Amino acid sequence: MSGARATATPPLGPPRTPACPLPAAADPWSADPYADALRAGRGPLFLRRTDGWLLPLDVERWCAEPDPADLDVLGRCEGAVLDVGCGPGRLVAALGAQGRRALGIDVSEAAVAHTVRRGGRALRASVFDPLPGTGRWDTALLMDGNIGIGGDPAALLDRLARVLTAGGLLIVETVPDPEADERSLVQVTDAHGSPGELFPWARLGTRALLRHARACGWRPEDRWSTPTRTFATLRAAPRAPADTARTGAR
């Protein structure tokens, strides 16, 4: 794509899963309700807060082909792309079909398997784990509300600043309420109330995201919306010489 920098492409290797399962505390999306919904390609599926509030999850859209809003996001990607919380892999597979270098990561074994079946490359891992190509990814994606991963947006933004190359691009899908800035414990549940593990999650609107991003050294670059979805792009700051030396040593 235009604007992509000439950087060393991160080695992706073959699709794989770790030899050892992730700890249960880091593995909430491998709960049966989520895995079952991905296998079926449909919900209903929800994030449930401890106070009973339910957030519907759009499993059908995740399992479908990329929609126009997704394709717009893919057109903005630069160079090698890391899809954080790739789910069933619609974006990773689409990038691969375009001949783009892309890797999805997800803590759900079912999500990784679904991505690989679609022809995408995926790794079962948390964004906070050691990752291939750390410091050399040109673009990272946080789609479908994945800015909420870990329940601490500042920690996630700080981590991604180290995963991306200097000046790398981060594309974030936010919630429609621009001021939303929520943190809570949630669990994945289905229509029958079958619960998964509790885990921390966050919900951010665009204005709240930009406040966190500026505080973490990111440069806001663009924002846009469709009738039902909202997005923003952030540019990573240049690295200090010491950080550049550490990245180059990997």
Within-domain flag for 215 = yes
Tell me the residue range of the domain where 177 lies.
67-184+202-248
One-letter amino acid of 163: V
Tokens of 73: 């996001």
Omega before 33 within 30 of 0, i.e. cis: no
pTM for the structure as a whole? 0.85
Beta-ladder partners of 235 = 169, 219
Asked if 182 contacts 147 with a C-beta cutoff of 8 angstroms, the reply is no
Beta-ladder partners of 171 = 141, 233
Within-domain flag for 244 = yes
The CATH code of the domain that includes 219 is 3.40.50.150
Within-domain flag for 209 = yes
- Give the per-residue pLDDT at 28: 61
- Candidates 141, 142, 122; CA nearest to 132 is 122
Helical segments of 81-133, H only: 90-97, 109-117
Within-domain flag for 150 = yes
Within-domain flag for 233 = yes
| Tally of domains within the chain | 1
Cα 149 to Cα 183: distance, rounded to the nearest angstrom: 10
pLDDT in tens, the chain (250 residues): 433 333 444 544 433 333 333 333 446 655 589 999 999 999 999 999 999 999 999 999 999 999 999 999 999 999 999 999 999 999 999 999 999 999 999 999 999 999 999 999 999 999 999 999 999 999 999 999 999 999 999 999 999 999 999 999 999 999 999 999 999 999 999 988 877 789 999 999 999 999 999 999 999 999 999 999 999 999 998 876 555 444 443 4
Within-domain flag for 138 = yes
Cα 87 to Cα 124: distance, rounded to the nearest angstrom: 11
3-state DSSP helix/strand/coil % of the chain, to nearest 5 = 30, 30, 40
Helical segments of the chain, H only: 32-40, 59-63, 68-76, 90-97, 109-117, 153-163, 206-215, 241-248
- Give the per-residue pLDDT at 19: 30
Within-domain flag for 130 = yes
Q: Based on DSSP, count helices (H) and strands (E) in the chain, helices before strands.
A: 8, 11
What single-letter DSSP state applies at residue 224?
E
Give CA angle at 232 (76, 149), nearest 5°.
Answer: 105
Cα 79 to Cα 2: distance, rounded to the nearest angstrom: 9
